[in-house]
Amino acid sequence: MLLAHKVELRPKPDQLDYFEKACGHYRHCWNHTLAWFSQQDSDGNFIFKWSKAAAYQFYMKVLRVEFPWYSEVSSVITRNAIDDLDAAFKQFFRMIRAGKKPGFPKPKKRGVKDHFSIRDSAKFDVKNKMLRIEKLKTRIDMRQPIRFGGKLKRVTISKRAGKYFASFLIDTDEYNPKDVDRQPSVGVDVGIKTLATLSNGEVFENSRLLRNNLRKLRKLQRSLSRKVRGSNGYAKAKLKIQKLHFLIARQREAILHQLSDYLTKTFDRIVIENLNVKGMMKNRKLSRAIADVGWGVLRHFIEYKAILRNCIVVIADRFFPSSKTCSNCGQVKKILTLKDRIFECDACGFVIDRDLNAAINLNNYTA
């Protein structure tokens, strides 16, 4: 699992000097390479066709020879300019092939998003809040230690508002925030009207924004069906629908991220239903956000975040009658229809919200 962590640096004067040079050399290499491959003949054709190999040749045989001061900083820093420029060119060509009009890669300006990176883990390391980078004799003081252990893959140093930051990319298999005081266990029932009901009584409502957009979508789809295929109005309505689809997908995902974040940050053990197989039949029971995006997405979010945050996910057996069981006495009801919003126990007379009852049963579930 790759995670990023950004830490503010407290560079000393010699280190500031290195940073300035590294940002400047990277920018210089980018701009000179870009200028070389931007040259056009009188017909407007490129004289030197871009390829990563050609750019690398230009870098080794021209730039590094003509500007020996590149070696004041780690050589991987300027070389990154070729890789990044290659990515920019590839993106440019991809857009052209897709029939769009992309902007040509632009020269970099001093003071605008100044940064450089080292992507070779042999060329930097961190010890006791001190960062070493190749060709810098002293270690740089970091304001905080890196949050998680693991292998450092890359560091990007950037300047924002006069301050320097190091953004690390770490390949980690541990993530256990120590600052949270978690509750032992929770059962989660995904509902019809509400997104989720937790066994401690907390309820996650569906987002009104999402509901409104779904209503809008249905309206648009109706109006599209009345329009003539191929007409101007049809194309316009179609585009509107596509945009709304995109927005709705993002809203759904945001909701499921919120819910799964909350659960994995707050509880050590999370019990959810197994809806994978039952899902088809029970789809009507699920709230819009979950039903439309698929139960699997929410389950996937909860499961991967649980690994990150060291909590246990228990999937209740798919025949476990979470809704039909009385959470007070354990009696199982024979009939419970979807309309029954309140659970009433025939054996002990216990009365409880249907979803809360199911959530409590899930919380008490033992495999």
Nearer to Zn ion, 38 or 328 (CB): 328
| Minimum distance of Zn ion from residue 282's CB (angstroms) | 23
| Minimum distance of Zn ion from residue 270's CB (angstroms) | 25
Nearer to Zn ion, 52 or 324 (CB): 324
Burial call 67-95: b when 16+ CB within 10 Å, e when fewer: eeebeebbebbbbbbbebbbebbeebeee
**What kind and span of H or E run contains 289?**
helix 288-293
Nearer to Zn ion, 240 or 333 (CB): 333
CA–CA separation, 78 vs 59, rounded Å?
9
Which of the residues are catalytic?
A: 189, 273, 355
CA–CA separation, 364 vs 20, rounded Å?
60
Q: How many CA atoms lie within 13 A of 243 on its CB side?
A: 8
Angle CA(185)–CA(189)–CA(190) in degrees, nearest 5?
Answer: 135
| Minimum distance of Zn ion from residue 2's CB (angstroms) | 49
Q: What are the two backbone dihedrals, phi and then psi, of residue 196, each rounded to the nearest 5 degrees?
A: -155, 145
Residues in touch with Zn ion (CB under 5 A): 326, 328-329, 331, 345, 347-348, 350
CA–CA separation, 333 vs 343, rounded Å?
9
Nearer to Zn ion, 15 or 363 (CB): 363
| Minimum distance of Zn ion from residue 199's CB (angstroms) | 16
